Chain A
Amino acid sequence: MKKMLLLRDRWMTNRALQRVVLILSVFGPATIAAMADNDAGGVATYSVAGATLGNPILFLLFIITPLLGITQEMGMRLTLVTRRGLADLIRERYGVKVSLFIFLSLFVANLGTITTEVSAIRTVSGMLAIPVAPFLIGMLLIAFVFITKGNYRLTQTIMLIVSLFYLTYIISAVKTHPDWGMAISNLFYPHGVAWTSQYMASYLVIGMGVLGTTITPWGQFFISSFAFDKKMDKDTLKYSQLETYWGAFLTDFFSFFMIVATASTLFVRHLTLTSGEQAAEAIRPFAGDLAGTLFAVGVLAAAFMGLVIVPLSTAYAFSEFFGLSGSLDSDYQKSKTFYILFFIQLVLAASITAIPGISLFHFAIATQTLNAMILPLVFFYLINLTSNKKLMGEHSNNAFQKYFTSAASVVIVLASVFTVVAVIFRW
């Protein structure tokens, strides 16, 4: 017993250890959101980006990473300071109509993302030669069970599989001996290709896709709901902020290698990406003949993760917009509304993929572009709320945070307009 006492005392007095525990305890929402950003739609989008555009698309990561970090940090800070979710605050400050409009936009964008995940599952079933219908229904059922009965360890396991899958891209990228100088210099300025008008149009559209899959509207709501749900405290603000930056770095660290791997395997051979088998070529340097299977399993795990988290974020946002901020807890999860919303999204997504002629890769780019177009709308409220001195006190935005994100929003709006023009007149 003496020994136990000693241990306890040492535990309580060891400040450094306490701090580590504190960091670990907030190590969560931002990293989870960041990892989930690289869902099946993400893999598909990065694959298309690397295969179609090569290294120059890496330049976007240089801008997207800080933007992701800063906006996620805003959402987290907003919730930690006000103890309200983002959707909550929009409802309280801007009323029902604005809430409804944003919710509907979010619903459509999320439905697109979920459809991408479902169509990824279809692609995987083709690659693994499993009949589509039973496989798909099975996966949807598992997702539903996961939501109702899922636990933290299972979530971690799936995250781990996905992370390992991303590692195969890193190894493959290294094994193809790409021109690292080109890859890294392209992070700072895009160069090394012929800038034809065709290429520039693709760059614009796919670039929007890359933006939309990395920084998502649902991600903005998710991080604030999650911070609320975990009942995190204002005192942990500093650590939470660090974590959001780390999460942003991690997402784009993986994205970087994914793009380099596809660029040095597919882009150099001028292959247009239309099938999962082709996309799997990017990890052949590492996986050899297993590339197809490994890609299929990795994409499946990534798709499953998106299939669970994205509909959840819709349901949570719905509850905040039209119900209560405290309703992320078990009471709401047991409510009929929650299940109906969840079910509707999965069924709608599954029906959309049943329309013939929808290719995972085209659909991914289209929906991620849609996601990107909705971003400025979400940013507008996020920036306004976090800049509000009355609401945030000493934690309101500094000039850099405010102007960087505002400028980015303007650029995204302009890019959206050009994208629409490019799609209508060229594609």
Chain B
Amino acid sequence: MAFVSELAGRPVTDIDGTRIGFLKDLVARPYKEFSHPVVDAIVVSSEKGENAIPYADLAALLSAAIPLKRPLAEIAPYEFREDDIRLVEDVLDKQILDTDDARVVRVNDIELIRVNGNVVVSNVDIGVLGIFRRIGIERIGLWFARRFHPDLSVGTISWDFVEPLVHDKFMRLKVPVEKLAELHPSDIAAIISDLNRAEHSELLHKLDLKQLADTLEEVEPDFQADLLEHFTDEKAADVLEEMAPDEATDLLAELPDERRQDLLKLMQTEEAEEVRELLRYAEDTAGGLMTTEYVSVLPDMTAAQTIDHLRKVGEEAELVYYVYVTDEGEHLIGVFSVSDLIIAQPLALVADFMHKRVVSVELGTQQEEIAQIVAKYNLIAVPVVDPENRLHGVVTADDALDKILPTAWKKRLPHFFGAVE
């Protein structure tokens, strides 16, 4: 086992023992079938400039001085490839993604091991001990760790769970972000907010439409608008269609007028109409907060028919826990929960088991008031009606309480919505 920080700066000697320079960087090559990259070359710096020497031409790498196998003059310089990772320049001291814990961490050191005559990148050191080693007081660190703080020594993550991120615009992600697909959208959102522009651009482009939409829903609206700048209008419109209409509306409201109109034109007519409707209302009123993706049924349907209906439309709806009952003129006349529905006999009529006294708010009701109503009646959503009692949408509890509850409390609330799948 060796550390990159220890190897860096070691002298590299020619076959006759004369020093040709110092080790500046290690070049590792990722392989598809093997999750740990293999050191393929070293970069040696001398007064004359830099030489890239293939690993095959080194007599030893993990030694105090690094001797060559053949005279320097006979060695063909290593040719860099697109996906090569320069361990010092690209990874050491940089922030990387720990996909196992879904967080961004800083690399204090990189661990190498010897496997079948090759040197392989095994772990990334993100612990305090790595810092102690770098400033040359590892022993003091170890002593301290043993004495006071046993956790201190555990600070490595396997390269398996690492995605190197690059902060300069000219570099690219070296490894496909497959593991990201397995993360929860809110985890992806948390990671994105830790990254800089170039990085989250890279990351966002690796996600599919559904993931993108889910992730965007998890970040703050002004930051959403920021992220949307990375996409072409067509792609942005596709993502907006995929998002819940109320979330898409909040996002569009953050954009300049022209861009918003352009995007609305590109969206499919149906989705665009819903969003246009929602855009008409101020952001902190029921009209602005509501989603139009609710389930409503007619009073003369049976429980069995309702369940069939739910199976068909439930996929699309943001909220299926409450089913609203409206008459032919869209007037809200009742509500029941899915548990009411399951308990009801299959042939029972909706009109018979629905609750007729429905708590609702008007389109212009302010957010604080909605939050109070939601809290008072213990609802997970409240319907929004116009003065004629026509149903326009529902505000879910998390949207109503958003901005009113301190963030810390919000995080403690269970995720009623959006966390399905």
Residues of A within 8 A of B (CB): 1, 4-5, 8, 12-13, 82-84, 91-92, 95-97, 100, 231, 233-234, 322-326, 330, 390-391, 393
Contact = CB atoms under 8 A, between A and B. Distances in A.
A12 B283 CA distance: 12
B194 interface: yes
A141 B197 CA distance: 39
Contact of B95 (A8, A325, A391, A393): A325
Nearest to B92: A95
Pick the most buried of A92, A96, A231, A233: most chain B CB atoms within 10 A of its CB.
A96
A5 B287 CA distance: 11
Given A91-B93, A96-B131, A326-B104, A8 B282 contact: yes
Given A4-B364, A83-B197, A323-B106, A95 B168 contact: no
Nearest to B386: A1
B150 to A, nearest CB: 16
Contacts, number: 61
Given A92-B93, A330-B408, A324 B167 contact: no
B407 interface: yes
Contacts of B135: 96-97, 100
A92 B226 contact: no
B134 interface: yes
A153 to B, nearest CB: 15
B280 interface: yes
B31 interface: no
Contacts of A231: 193, 223
Given A4-B364, A8-B282, A390-B170, A326 B131 contact: no
B168 A326 contact: no
Contacts of B337: none
19 contacts: A4-B282, A4-B285, A5-B280, A5-B281, A82-B196, A83-B197, A83-B198, A83-B199, A92-B93, A96-B108, A96-B135, A233-B226, A234-B197, A322-B131, A324-B105, A326-B104, A326-B194, A330-B408, A390-B170
A13 B257 contact: yes
Nearest to B280: A5
Nearest to B106: A324
B167 to A, nearest CB: 7
B27 interface: no
B369 to A, nearest CB: 15
B412 interface: no
A12 B260 CA distance: 11
Contacts of B169: 393
Nearest to A390: B168
B197 to A, nearest CB: 6
Contacts of B198: 83
Contacts of A4: 281-282, 285, 364
Contacts of B108: 96
A231 B134 CA distance: 31
Contact of A1 (B105, B364, B408): B364
Interface string B192-233: 011111110000000000000000000000010010000000
B363 interface: yes
B94 interface: yes
A13 B285 CA distance: 20
A322 B109 CA distance: 12
A37 B197 CA distance: 31
B229 to A, nearest CB: 9
Contacts of A82: 167, 196
Interface in B357-388: 363-364
